[in-house]
Structure 1
Protein backbone atom coordinates (compact mmCIF):
# COMPACT_ATOMS: atom_id res chain seq x y z
CA UNK A 1 0.00 0.00 0.00
CA UNK A 2 1.32 3.42 -0.95
CA UNK A 3 1.85 6.01 1.74
CA UNK A 4 -0.22 9.17 1.62
CA UNK A 5 1.23 11.68 -0.87
CA UNK A 6 3.17 8.97 -2.75
CA UNK A 7 2.71 8.80 -6.51
CA UNK A 8 1.96 5.53 -8.35
CA UNK A 9 5.18 3.86 -9.35
CA UNK A 10 7.16 5.90 -6.82
CA UNK A 11 10.61 4.54 -5.87
CA UNK A 12 11.16 2.63 -2.66
CA UNK A 13 12.54 5.77 -1.01
CA UNK A 14 8.96 7.12 -1.02
CA UNK A 15 9.55 10.62 -2.31
CA UNK A 16 6.57 12.65 -1.14
CA UNK A 17 4.73 15.24 -3.21
CA UNK A 18 5.87 18.72 -2.27
CA UNK A 19 3.29 20.86 -0.51
CA UNK A 20 1.72 23.66 -2.47
CA UNK A 21 3.04 27.19 -1.84
CA UNK A 22 0.70 29.80 -0.34
CA UNK A 23 -1.55 31.47 -2.86
CA UNK A 24 -0.44 34.84 -4.14
CA UNK A 25 -3.57 36.83 -3.37
CA UNK A 26 -2.23 39.90 -5.13
CA UNK A 27 -1.88 37.98 -8.40
CA UNK A 28 -5.35 36.50 -7.95
CA UNK A 29 -6.80 39.99 -7.57
CA UNK A 30 -4.94 41.12 -10.71
CA UNK A 31 -6.30 38.18 -12.70
CA UNK A 32 -9.84 38.72 -11.44
CA UNK A 33 -9.74 42.42 -12.24
CA UNK A 34 -8.23 41.82 -15.68
CA UNK A 35 -11.00 39.32 -16.38
CA UNK A 36 -13.58 41.89 -15.24
CA UNK A 37 -12.10 44.58 -17.50
CA UNK A 38 -12.22 42.21 -20.46
CA UNK A 39 -15.78 40.96 -19.83
CA UNK A 40 -17.10 44.47 -19.13
CA UNK A 41 -15.37 45.73 -22.30
CA UNK A 42 -13.89 48.69 -20.42
CA UNK A 43 -11.95 51.19 -22.48
CA UNK A 44 -9.07 53.56 -21.80
CA UNK A 45 -10.28 56.30 -19.49
CA UNK A 46 -12.98 54.22 -17.82
CA UNK A 47 -13.11 54.29 -14.02
CA UNK A 48 -12.41 51.08 -12.11
CA UNK A 49 -14.31 49.89 -9.02
CA UNK A 50 -13.31 51.48 -5.73
CA UNK A 51 -11.13 49.77 -3.13
CA UNK A 52 -14.20 49.14 -0.98
CA UNK A 53 -16.10 47.58 -3.90
CA UNK A 54 -13.15 45.34 -4.78
CA UNK A 55 -12.67 44.26 -1.16
CA UNK A 56 -16.34 43.25 -0.93
CA UNK A 57 -16.44 41.51 -4.31
CA UNK A 58 -13.16 39.59 -3.90
CA UNK A 59 -13.24 39.02 -0.12
CA UNK A 60 -9.71 40.30 0.44
CA UNK A 61 -8.20 43.02 2.58
CA UNK A 62 -7.32 46.57 1.65
CA UNK A 63 -3.56 45.84 1.61
CA UNK A 64 -4.05 43.08 -0.98
CA UNK A 65 -6.12 45.36 -3.19
CA UNK A 66 -3.48 48.08 -2.95
CA UNK A 67 -0.70 45.60 -3.74
CA UNK A 68 -2.50 44.47 -6.89
CA UNK A 69 -3.32 48.02 -7.97
CA UNK A 70 0.30 49.00 -7.35
CA UNK A 71 1.42 46.28 -9.74
CA UNK A 72 -1.04 47.48 -12.38
CA UNK A 73 0.21 51.04 -12.00
CA UNK A 74 3.83 49.86 -12.30
CA UNK A 75 2.88 48.18 -15.58
CA UNK A 76 1.34 51.41 -16.87
CA UNK A 77 -2.13 49.84 -16.95
CA UNK A 78 -3.92 52.13 -14.48
CA UNK A 79 -3.67 55.64 -13.09
CA UNK A 80 -4.86 56.85 -9.70
CA UNK A 81 -6.24 60.37 -9.60
CA UNK A 82 -6.38 61.90 -6.15
CA UNK A 83 -9.93 62.43 -4.98
CA UNK A 84 -11.37 60.85 -8.12
CA UNK A 85 -10.44 57.17 -8.30
CA UNK A 86 -8.45 54.73 -10.40
CA UNK A 87 -8.77 54.78 -14.18
CA UNK A 88 -7.83 52.35 -16.92
CA UNK A 89 -5.06 53.62 -19.20
CA UNK A 90 -5.31 50.79 -21.72
CA UNK A 91 -7.53 47.74 -22.25
CA UNK A 92 -6.24 44.52 -20.70
CA UNK A 93 -7.16 40.86 -20.36
CA UNK A 94 -5.92 37.96 -18.27
CA UNK A 95 -3.46 37.15 -21.07
CA UNK A 96 -1.97 40.62 -21.46
CA UNK A 97 -1.50 41.99 -17.94
CA UNK A 98 2.24 41.39 -17.95
CA UNK A 99 5.17 40.44 -20.06
CA UNK A 100 6.05 36.75 -19.69
CA UNK A 101 9.25 37.42 -17.77
CA UNK A 102 10.34 34.94 -15.12
CA UNK A 103 13.32 34.36 -12.91
CA UNK A 104 14.19 31.31 -10.85
CA UNK A 105 15.40 32.76 -7.58
CA UNK A 106 15.83 29.47 -5.76
CA UNK A 107 19.50 30.38 -5.68
CA UNK A 108 19.32 33.93 -4.32
CA UNK A 109 22.84 34.96 -5.30
CA UNK A 110 22.56 33.80 -8.92
CA UNK A 111 19.07 35.22 -9.25
CA UNK A 112 20.17 38.64 -8.07
CA UNK A 113 23.22 38.69 -10.31
CA UNK A 114 21.09 37.73 -13.30
CA UNK A 115 18.70 40.53 -12.42
CA UNK A 116 21.57 43.00 -12.18
CA UNK A 117 22.75 42.09 -15.67
CA UNK A 118 19.34 43.09 -17.00
CA UNK A 119 19.09 46.16 -14.79
CA UNK A 120 22.48 47.41 -15.91
CA UNK A 121 21.35 47.92 -19.48
CA UNK A 122 17.89 49.25 -18.66
CA UNK A 123 18.84 51.58 -15.83
CA UNK A 124 21.87 53.06 -17.55
CA UNK A 125 19.74 53.99 -20.54
CA UNK A 126 16.87 55.20 -18.34
CA UNK A 127 19.20 57.50 -16.40
CA UNK A 128 20.44 59.08 -19.63
CA UNK A 129 16.91 59.57 -20.95
CA UNK A 130 15.76 60.97 -17.60
CA UNK A 131 18.62 63.49 -17.63
CA UNK A 132 17.51 64.71 -21.04
CA UNK A 133 13.74 64.75 -20.50
CA UNK A 134 13.22 65.48 -16.80
CA UNK A 135 10.88 68.30 -15.86
CA UNK A 136 10.83 70.49 -12.78
CA UNK A 137 8.05 68.30 -11.36
CA UNK A 138 10.12 65.19 -12.04
CA UNK A 139 13.08 66.66 -10.14
CA UNK A 140 10.83 67.53 -7.23
CA UNK A 141 9.53 63.94 -7.05
CA UNK A 142 12.96 62.34 -7.42
CA UNK A 143 14.39 64.58 -4.71
CA UNK A 144 11.53 63.78 -2.35
CA UNK A 145 12.23 60.05 -2.77
CA UNK A 146 15.98 60.65 -2.36
CA UNK A 147 15.53 62.64 0.86
CA UNK A 148 13.34 59.88 2.30
CA UNK A 149 15.91 57.28 1.24
CA UNK A 150 18.67 59.27 2.93
CA UNK A 151 16.61 59.69 6.09
CA UNK A 152 15.92 55.96 6.40
CA UNK A 153 19.48 55.02 5.51
CA UNK A 154 20.99 57.32 8.13
CA UNK A 155 18.56 56.02 10.74
CA UNK A 156 18.81 52.29 10.01
CA UNK A 157 21.88 51.71 7.83
CA UNK A 158 19.84 50.37 4.92
CA UNK A 159 17.21 51.66 2.50
CA UNK A 160 15.40 48.91 0.61
CA UNK A 161 11.92 50.07 -0.47
CA UNK A 162 13.08 53.68 -0.39
CA UNK A 163 15.92 52.85 -2.80
CA UNK A 164 13.41 51.25 -5.15
CA UNK A 165 11.09 54.26 -4.92
CA UNK A 166 13.99 56.54 -5.89
CA UNK A 167 14.82 54.50 -8.97
CA UNK A 168 11.17 54.25 -9.99
CA UNK A 169 10.98 58.05 -9.87
CA UNK A 170 14.01 58.22 -12.16
CA UNK A 171 12.29 55.80 -14.55
CA UNK A 172 9.16 57.95 -14.54
CA UNK A 173 11.26 60.99 -15.48
CA UNK A 174 12.03 59.31 -18.81
CA UNK A 175 8.38 59.76 -19.81
CA UNK A 176 8.65 56.35 -21.46
CA UNK A 177 6.31 53.93 -19.64
CA UNK A 178 8.20 50.88 -20.89
CA UNK A 179 11.06 51.58 -18.46
CA UNK A 180 8.64 51.49 -15.52
CA UNK A 181 6.87 48.42 -16.88
CA UNK A 182 10.09 46.45 -17.29
CA UNK A 183 11.27 47.30 -13.80
CA UNK A 184 7.83 46.40 -12.48
CA UNK A 185 8.43 42.82 -13.67
CA UNK A 186 11.43 42.59 -11.33
CA UNK A 187 10.04 44.48 -8.32
CA UNK A 188 8.97 41.45 -6.34
CA UNK A 189 12.43 39.88 -6.45
CA UNK A 190 14.00 43.16 -5.33
CA UNK A 191 11.54 43.66 -2.49
CA UNK A 192 11.91 40.10 -1.18
CA UNK A 193 15.68 40.52 -1.23
CA UNK A 194 15.64 43.85 0.57
CA UNK A 195 13.78 42.29 3.52
CA UNK A 196 16.87 40.26 4.42
CA UNK A 197 19.93 41.23 2.34
CA UNK A 198 22.15 38.28 3.38
CA UNK A 199 21.37 39.29 6.99
CA UNK A 200 23.46 42.41 6.50
CA UNK A 201 21.70 45.62 7.43
CA UNK A 202 24.55 47.72 6.00
CA UNK A 203 24.28 46.21 2.53
CA UNK A 204 23.55 49.53 0.79
CA UNK A 205 26.24 51.50 2.62
CA UNK A 206 28.85 51.69 -0.19
CA UNK A 207 26.44 52.52 -3.01
CA UNK A 208 24.39 54.98 -0.96
CA UNK A 209 26.37 58.20 -1.68
CA UNK A 210 26.16 57.73 -5.45
CA UNK A 211 22.39 58.18 -5.45
CA UNK A 212 22.77 61.87 -4.57
CA UNK A 213 25.41 62.17 -7.31
CA UNK A 214 23.05 60.52 -9.80
CA UNK A 215 20.36 63.02 -8.88
CA UNK A 216 22.79 65.92 -9.33
CA UNK A 217 23.70 64.62 -12.80
CA UNK A 218 20.02 64.45 -13.77
CA UNK A 219 19.51 67.99 -12.46
CA UNK A 220 22.45 69.14 -14.62
CA UNK A 221 21.03 67.31 -17.68
CA UNK A 222 24.36 65.49 -17.94
CA UNK A 223 23.29 62.21 -19.54
CA UNK A 224 26.74 60.61 -19.67
CA UNK A 225 27.45 61.42 -16.03
CA UNK A 226 24.03 60.04 -15.02
CA UNK A 227 24.84 56.84 -16.91
CA UNK A 228 28.21 56.58 -15.18
CA UNK A 229 26.73 57.04 -11.70
CA UNK A 230 24.09 54.41 -12.38
CA UNK A 231 26.69 51.91 -13.55
CA UNK A 232 28.79 52.67 -10.46
CA UNK A 233 25.84 51.95 -8.17
CA UNK A 234 25.15 48.64 -9.88
CA UNK A 235 28.85 47.71 -9.92
CA UNK A 236 29.06 48.18 -6.16
CA UNK A 237 25.84 46.25 -5.57
CA UNK A 238 27.19 43.37 -7.67
CA UNK A 239 30.48 43.36 -5.73
CA UNK A 240 28.62 43.36 -2.41
CA UNK A 241 26.36 40.49 -3.44
CA UNK A 242 29.32 38.39 -4.51
CA UNK A 243 31.22 39.20 -1.31
CA UNK A 244 28.37 38.69 1.12
CA UNK A 245 27.15 35.45 -0.45
CA UNK A 246 30.48 33.64 -0.21
Structure 2
Protein backbone atom coordinates (compact mmCIF):
# COMPACT_ATOMS: atom_id res chain seq x y z
CA UNK A 1 0.00 0.00 0.00
CA UNK A 2 1.22 3.50 -0.81
CA UNK A 3 2.16 5.48 2.29
CA UNK A 4 0.86 9.04 2.12
CA UNK A 5 3.13 11.79 3.40
CA UNK A 6 1.68 14.78 5.22
CA UNK A 7 2.72 17.92 3.38
CA UNK A 8 3.11 21.41 4.82
CA UNK A 9 0.02 23.40 3.82
CA UNK A 10 2.22 26.30 2.75
CA UNK A 11 3.76 24.27 -0.03
CA UNK A 12 2.53 24.99 -3.51
CA UNK A 13 0.13 22.85 -5.50
CA UNK A 14 2.84 21.51 -7.79
CA UNK A 15 4.41 19.70 -4.83
CA UNK A 16 1.10 17.98 -4.12
CA UNK A 17 0.90 17.25 -7.83
CA UNK A 18 4.24 15.45 -7.61
CA UNK A 19 3.09 13.52 -4.55
CA UNK A 20 -0.17 12.59 -6.29
CA UNK A 21 1.81 11.33 -9.29
CA UNK A 22 3.91 9.19 -6.95
CA UNK A 23 0.73 7.76 -5.45
CA UNK A 24 -0.66 6.90 -8.89
CA UNK A 25 2.56 5.09 -9.86
CA UNK A 26 3.20 3.28 -6.58
CA UNK A 27 -0.31 2.27 -5.54
CA UNK A 28 -0.67 1.73 -8.49
CA UNK A 29 -3.77 3.28 -10.01
CA UNK A 30 -3.77 1.92 -13.55
CA UNK A 31 -5.03 3.66 -16.69
CA UNK A 32 -8.81 3.44 -16.75
CA UNK A 33 -9.10 3.38 -12.95
CA UNK A 34 -10.42 6.17 -10.76
CA UNK A 35 -8.38 8.01 -8.12
CA UNK A 36 -9.89 8.84 -4.69
CA UNK A 37 -12.14 11.90 -4.60
CA UNK A 38 -10.79 15.28 -3.54
CA UNK A 39 -12.18 14.94 0.01
CA UNK A 40 -10.19 11.75 0.58
CA UNK A 41 -7.06 13.10 -1.06
CA UNK A 42 -7.24 16.34 0.93
CA UNK A 43 -7.45 14.35 4.14
CA UNK A 44 -4.66 11.96 3.21
CA UNK A 45 -2.26 14.72 2.13
CA UNK A 46 -3.30 17.07 4.92
CA UNK A 47 -4.10 19.98 2.60
CA UNK A 48 -7.19 21.85 1.46
CA UNK A 49 -9.44 20.73 -1.37
CA UNK A 50 -8.39 23.74 -3.46
CA UNK A 51 -4.78 22.50 -3.38
CA UNK A 52 -5.91 19.05 -4.48
CA UNK A 53 -7.91 20.57 -7.32
CA UNK A 54 -4.81 22.48 -8.42
CA UNK A 55 -2.72 19.30 -8.37
CA UNK A 56 -5.35 17.39 -10.33
CA UNK A 57 -5.57 20.20 -12.87
CA UNK A 58 -1.79 20.00 -13.33
CA UNK A 59 -1.89 16.26 -14.03
CA UNK A 60 -4.83 16.72 -16.40
CA UNK A 61 -2.77 19.22 -18.40
CA UNK A 62 0.09 16.70 -18.55
CA UNK A 63 -2.15 13.96 -19.93
CA UNK A 64 -2.06 11.77 -16.82
CA UNK A 65 -5.60 12.36 -15.50
CA UNK A 66 -8.99 12.96 -17.04
CA UNK A 67 -11.96 14.47 -15.18
CA UNK A 68 -15.28 12.90 -16.19
CA UNK A 69 -18.22 14.98 -15.06
CA UNK A 70 -20.53 13.06 -12.76
CA UNK A 71 -18.16 10.10 -12.60
CA UNK A 72 -14.84 11.18 -11.09
CA UNK A 73 -11.19 11.58 -12.03
CA UNK A 74 -9.51 8.77 -13.93
CA UNK A 75 -5.92 7.87 -14.78
CA UNK A 76 -5.42 7.79 -18.55
CA UNK A 77 -1.64 7.35 -18.67
CA UNK A 78 1.33 6.69 -16.39
CA UNK A 79 3.54 8.76 -18.70
CA UNK A 80 3.28 12.52 -18.42
CA UNK A 81 3.67 14.81 -21.41
CA UNK A 82 6.90 16.06 -19.82
CA UNK A 83 8.43 12.59 -20.19
CA UNK A 84 6.75 11.94 -23.53
CA UNK A 85 6.27 15.48 -24.92
CA UNK A 86 5.02 14.28 -28.29
CA UNK A 87 2.54 11.82 -26.78
CA UNK A 88 3.72 8.77 -28.73
CA UNK A 89 3.06 6.43 -25.79
CA UNK A 90 -0.65 7.09 -26.24
CA UNK A 91 -0.76 5.36 -29.62
CA UNK A 92 -2.33 1.97 -28.94
CA UNK A 93 -1.40 0.47 -32.31
CA UNK A 94 2.39 0.60 -32.67
CA UNK A 95 2.17 -0.50 -36.32
CA UNK A 96 0.04 2.52 -37.18
CA UNK A 97 2.45 4.72 -35.22
CA UNK A 98 5.42 3.28 -37.12
CA UNK A 99 3.72 3.91 -40.49
CA UNK A 100 2.88 7.50 -39.61
CA UNK A 101 6.38 8.11 -38.27
CA UNK A 102 7.80 6.78 -41.55
CA UNK A 103 5.65 9.29 -43.42
CA UNK A 104 6.87 12.15 -41.23
CA UNK A 105 10.47 11.03 -41.68
CA UNK A 106 10.00 11.05 -45.46
CA UNK A 107 8.88 14.67 -45.17
CA UNK A 108 11.90 15.66 -43.07
CA UNK A 109 14.99 13.50 -43.34
CA UNK A 110 15.80 13.72 -47.06
CA UNK A 111 16.09 17.50 -46.73
CA UNK A 112 18.02 17.12 -43.47
CA UNK A 113 20.50 14.85 -45.28
CA UNK A 114 20.77 17.40 -48.11
CA UNK A 115 21.58 20.15 -45.60
CA UNK A 116 24.13 17.90 -43.90
CA UNK A 117 25.87 17.38 -47.25
CA UNK A 118 26.01 21.13 -47.68
CA UNK A 119 27.21 22.10 -44.21
CA UNK A 120 29.05 19.17 -42.58
CA UNK A 121 32.69 19.89 -41.72
CA UNK A 122 35.51 17.49 -42.59
CA UNK A 123 35.67 16.41 -38.97
CA UNK A 124 31.94 15.75 -38.91
CA UNK A 125 32.18 13.73 -42.11
CA UNK A 126 34.80 11.50 -40.50
CA UNK A 127 32.61 11.03 -37.45
CA UNK A 128 29.60 10.18 -39.63
CA UNK A 129 31.59 7.55 -41.53
CA UNK A 130 32.69 6.05 -38.23
CA UNK A 131 29.08 5.84 -37.03
CA UNK A 132 28.01 4.27 -40.30
CA UNK A 133 30.78 1.66 -39.93
CA UNK A 134 29.74 0.92 -36.35
CA UNK A 135 26.07 0.40 -37.25
CA UNK A 136 27.07 -1.96 -40.06
CA UNK A 137 29.39 -3.95 -37.81
CA UNK A 138 26.70 -4.36 -35.14
CA UNK A 139 24.17 -5.43 -37.77
CA UNK A 140 26.49 -8.01 -39.32
CA UNK A 141 27.50 -9.41 -35.93
CA UNK A 142 23.88 -9.87 -34.90
CA UNK A 143 24.22 -7.38 -32.05
CA UNK A 144 21.75 -4.72 -30.94
CA UNK A 145 22.29 -1.84 -33.35
CA UNK A 146 19.37 0.45 -32.41
CA UNK A 147 21.23 2.81 -30.07
CA UNK A 148 23.99 3.35 -32.62
CA UNK A 149 21.45 3.64 -35.46
CA UNK A 150 19.70 6.43 -33.54
CA UNK A 151 23.07 8.11 -32.97
CA UNK A 152 23.75 7.94 -36.73
CA UNK A 153 20.50 9.68 -37.68
CA UNK A 154 20.83 12.18 -34.83
CA UNK A 155 24.32 13.10 -36.00
CA UNK A 156 23.09 13.73 -39.54
CA UNK A 157 20.53 16.12 -38.05
CA UNK A 158 23.24 17.96 -36.11
CA UNK A 159 25.32 18.24 -39.30
CA UNK A 160 22.46 20.15 -40.93
CA UNK A 161 23.40 23.12 -38.72
CA UNK A 162 19.70 23.90 -38.32
CA UNK A 163 18.69 24.41 -34.69
CA UNK A 164 15.01 23.72 -35.36
CA UNK A 165 15.92 20.39 -36.95
CA UNK A 166 17.78 19.43 -33.79
CA UNK A 167 14.59 20.09 -31.80
CA UNK A 168 12.77 17.60 -34.05
CA UNK A 169 15.28 14.83 -33.35
CA UNK A 170 12.96 13.08 -30.79
CA UNK A 171 10.60 12.28 -33.67
CA UNK A 172 13.42 10.64 -35.61
CA UNK A 173 14.70 8.78 -32.56
CA UNK A 174 11.25 7.43 -31.69
CA UNK A 175 10.73 6.38 -35.29
CA UNK A 176 14.04 4.48 -35.47
CA UNK A 177 13.38 2.74 -32.16
CA UNK A 178 9.77 1.83 -33.01
CA UNK A 179 10.72 0.56 -36.46
CA UNK A 180 13.64 -1.48 -35.13
CA UNK A 181 11.55 -3.19 -32.47
CA UNK A 182 8.85 -4.16 -34.95
CA UNK A 183 11.01 -5.29 -37.89
CA UNK A 184 13.61 -7.38 -36.01
CA UNK A 185 16.47 -6.81 -38.47
CA UNK A 186 14.40 -7.76 -41.54
CA UNK A 187 16.03 -5.01 -43.64
CA UNK A 188 19.66 -5.56 -42.71
CA UNK A 189 21.15 -5.45 -46.22
CA UNK A 190 18.93 -2.58 -47.37
CA UNK A 191 19.74 -0.57 -44.24
CA UNK A 192 23.48 -1.12 -44.57
CA UNK A 193 23.47 -0.18 -48.27
CA UNK A 194 21.33 2.95 -47.91
CA UNK A 195 23.16 4.13 -44.77
CA UNK A 196 26.38 3.84 -46.75
CA UNK A 197 24.88 5.71 -49.71
CA UNK A 198 23.67 8.54 -47.47
CA UNK A 199 27.05 8.73 -45.75
CA UNK A 200 29.05 8.73 -48.99
CA UNK A 201 26.87 11.47 -50.47
CA UNK A 202 27.26 13.68 -47.40
CA UNK A 203 31.02 13.13 -47.41
CA UNK A 204 31.11 14.09 -51.10
CA UNK A 205 29.07 17.22 -50.41
CA UNK A 206 26.40 15.88 -52.78
CA UNK A 207 23.08 17.27 -51.53
CA UNK A 208 21.01 15.69 -54.30
CA UNK A 209 22.64 12.30 -53.75
CA UNK A 210 22.14 12.51 -49.98
CA UNK A 211 18.49 13.43 -50.46
CA UNK A 212 17.86 10.56 -52.88
CA UNK A 213 19.70 8.02 -50.73
CA UNK A 214 17.67 9.00 -47.68
CA UNK A 215 14.43 8.74 -49.68
CA UNK A 216 15.45 5.21 -50.70
CA UNK A 217 16.33 4.29 -47.11
CA UNK A 218 13.00 5.50 -45.76
CA UNK A 219 11.02 4.02 -48.66
CA UNK A 220 12.36 0.58 -47.77
CA UNK A 221 11.24 1.21 -44.18
CA UNK A 222 7.79 2.37 -45.28
CA UNK A 223 7.27 -0.66 -47.53
CA UNK A 224 8.36 -3.07 -44.80
CA UNK A 225 6.01 -1.47 -42.27
CA UNK A 226 3.12 -1.70 -44.75
CA UNK A 227 3.74 -5.44 -45.13
CA UNK A 228 4.06 -5.98 -41.39
CA UNK A 229 0.93 -3.96 -40.71
CA UNK A 230 -1.02 -6.07 -43.22
CA UNK A 231 0.23 -9.26 -41.54
CA UNK A 232 -0.63 -7.84 -38.13
CA UNK A 233 -4.14 -7.00 -39.36
CA UNK A 234 -4.63 -10.53 -40.69
CA UNK A 235 -3.50 -12.05 -37.40
CA UNK A 236 -5.91 -9.83 -35.47
CA UNK A 237 -8.78 -10.83 -37.78
CA UNK A 238 -7.98 -14.53 -37.42
CA UNK A 239 -7.90 -14.25 -33.62
CA UNK A 240 -11.27 -12.48 -33.55
CA UNK A 241 -12.78 -15.23 -35.74
CA UNK A 242 -11.73 -18.03 -33.38
TM-score computed with the length of structure 1 as normaliser: 0.57
Partner of 1:58: none
Partner of 1:215: 199
Partner of 1:201: 185
In 2: Cα distance, 1:9 partner to 1:102 partner: 27
Partner of 1:167: 153
CA shift in 2, pair 1:222/1:20, >3 Å = same
CA shift in 2, pair 1:189/1:206, >3 Å = closer
CA contact (8 A) 1:158 1:203 kept: no
CA shift in 2, pair 1:8/1:176, >3 Å = closer
CA contact (8 A) 1:197 1:203 kept: no
CA shift in 2, pair 1:18/1:202, >3 Å = farther
| Residue number among 163, 182, 189 corresponding to 1:177 in the alignment | 163
**Residue 22 of structure 1: CA displacement?**
4.5
In 1: Cα distance, 2:200 partner to 2:172 partner: 26
Q: Which sections of structure 1, spanning at least 5 residues, go unmatched?
A: 11-16, 29-97
CA contact (8 A) 2:116 2:202 kept: yes
TM-score computed with the length of structure 2 as normaliser: 0.58
Matched, 1:148 2:137: no
Within a 5 Å distance, the mapping from 1:1-246 to structure 2 comes to: 21-22=77-78, 27=82, 101-103=86-88, 104-156=90-142, 159-188=145-174, 190-194=176-180, 196-198=181-183, 200-245=184-229, 246=231
CA contact (8 A) 2:102 2:175 kept: no
What's the C-alpha RMSD, in Å, of the aligned pairs?
3.2
CA shift in 2, pair 1:211/1:111, >3 Å = same
Equivalenced residue count is: 165
Q: Which sections of structure 2, spanning at least 5 residues, go unmatched?
A: 1-32, 36-67, 232-242
CA contact (8 A) 2:105 2:172 kept: no
CA contact (8 A) 2:117 2:201 kept: yes
| SS in structure 1 of the partner of residue 141 of structure 2 | helix
CA shift in 2, pair 1:115/1:134, >3 Å = same
